[in-house]
Chain A
């Protein structure tokens, strides 16, 4: 009785699957033999599984036949409903063959996958295929009119290139310059709302590996939005990627100019610091828990440009370190970025009373440097931060007059550092080096 029952199911189910396979073969000549073989083998294994489990199930009362039918009916019903759902969603998965199978009434349906479809009607401008900095191939319209940036540094780059009219949207974190806050936001850089991005009809979305997730880029690429991902690891890399982005949006001249200026400023700094030994610093990304930078980050490179070197040599990008390690390594300077900690004179006073910190030689000497938050963002504004940092770390190299002028220019830094500890630092700079 039991044995008679099992195979009946198996044969029935196999029949259904074979019919399906045959159908797909007819309608989709593109299916390779390999795929067909895979489908068939899955059908076979399903049959084997079904047999296994049908034997495994065992009923306890006499009326197993009827109940078996009920159960089978429910199972089939559920299978049917899920199949219907699959049909409904399959077009969305970008599966060409399946879509074709469905739209058999319209044999001339476009064979291009959805990725190649234009975003909005009427945009038939020729697209150029470029390879972005993560090795992804992107089709970018020749005439980019609307750009969405997914990171604060990219927003800043766009503004520095003078392309703010083309900026259709940015993230919640984009606050520099202030005008960027007024643009439509698409959410945080790590969890942007994809629909909000699509709703802005962008010709090009700019992302960066320094903050965005690859999943976001994948998802956007899947629905046919052009995403260019920057991947800067060094200051020079940042400048190169700025140049490329400028070219993509059609501001190649402005980009080249900006990059040349920045490069000249960097060269000027490195010339002045050519004979000066590196200062050993601790860059504080976050104070509690203590997080610093790894050697492969662009901040580490910015420090090198400013004549400094991180005392922590970690392979991780943002390592969390113990305070004991700081005590052991005795950094000459401690560098804070003003964005995270809002570091000012009060904070310096607080640091001087804080257990542990107050005994550090750098804190005793007042060797604290504060840079603007630009240092966290790989945009051309980073060069400003490098100049600030170089002046603070090498006060004896940069003439005092010039130093003071720079401090006056940058009111924020003057407020925070233009007091007693600053003079301490100048007088003791020789000893520290």
Chain B
């Protein structure tokens, strides 16, 4: 096997970036409001150059007001969820681990719902509450999953699954006892929905995403070693506890971030890292950036389909990821076996 070179990492990331760019342009083109590719390119060009007066206001509204924020939100959510999934899979050395299986998403959703019930219109509170929910869940799962002082992977997964169903039950209870206007939004939100804009400025969320991605990335070569076994990694001089702490906190933050703006979008955290592993190998120095970009591509495609397949009505993007994700995964798995 050839060693991983920086050239390869940059090459793969470049290719994925190009794919993401193409997907974004195609996604900008699709929608209920008809705009030609030429007009989109013109609008984008003038918009980035700051010459807003030269754009017809309708184009500005559709491209910069509706489609681009939604795509930006999709990129954010996809990158956050799949990076979190990749991180959890490495830490637990279990291919099934992902924010949903571990209950982190349910915890984030519960936190977000509680914040919506208590103070619906405070910007930023929902993100904080979602992160608090995610962090509290992962802490609880972490302690439940310990056996004899050591973190036991199967026990941890079981603890995660149990917490996930427990938290979902609490969410169901809250949704049944509370009613009125918020309930309707929540029902959509629980299915995963990108149609409502985030209450907080997206740039702050991107800022957090970048910081957390960067900090998880600094642990990537340690994660490679942890994959071979915690004892082995420890013997090779890896500060396992510290790496675990960084990745757990980072992945919880990412999950909280994604859930707070988009609700529960399933499958991405599980699928994308696996697909990337099948395509580019298991080295985490490549896998983490590739997962982030791949997750972004996957969500943008899924959301584009969700808003165009049955236009003018919209599907929840969570349904789309599951619908499109499962066959792709099975195909790749079969191909790998052969």
Contact = CB atoms under 8 A, between A and B. Distances in A.
Q: Are A and B part of the same complex?
A: yes
Interface of A: 42, 46, 49-50, 52-54, 56-60, 67, 70-71, 73-75, 77-79, 81-82, 85-93, 95, 98-99, 102-106, 109, 114, 117-121, 172, 185-188, 190-196, 198-199, 201, 209, 213-216, 218-219, 222-224, 294, 315-320
Nearest to B220: A71
A52 B196 CA distance: 35
B180 A317 contact: yes
Contact of A223 (B10, B65, B181, B209): B65
Interface of A is mostly: helix
A181 to B, nearest CB: 14
B18 to A, nearest CB: 11
Contacts of B289: 74, 78
Nearest to B221: A59
A21 B2 CA distance: 44
Nearest to A188: B313
Given A78-B210, A195-B32, A213-B184, A93 B202 contact: yes
Contacts of B312: 172, 185-187, 192-193, 196
B225 A60 contact: yes
A320 B179 CA distance: 11
Nearest to A211: B184
Contact of A193 (B65, B68, B307): B307
Interface residues of B, number: 79
A329 B188 CA distance: 34
B44 interface: yes
A58 B203 contact: no
A270 B93 CA distance: 72
Contact of B314 (A93, A187, A214): A187
B326 to A, nearest CB: 23
B60 to A, nearest CB: 8
Nearest to B14: A77
Contacts of A194: 66, 195
Nearest to B58: A120
A195 B66 contact: yes
B237 A60 contact: yes
B323 to A, nearest CB: 17
B72 A85 contact: yes
B69 A120 contact: no
B48 A71 contact: no
A299 to B, nearest CB: 14
B147 interface: no
A79 B51 CA distance: 25
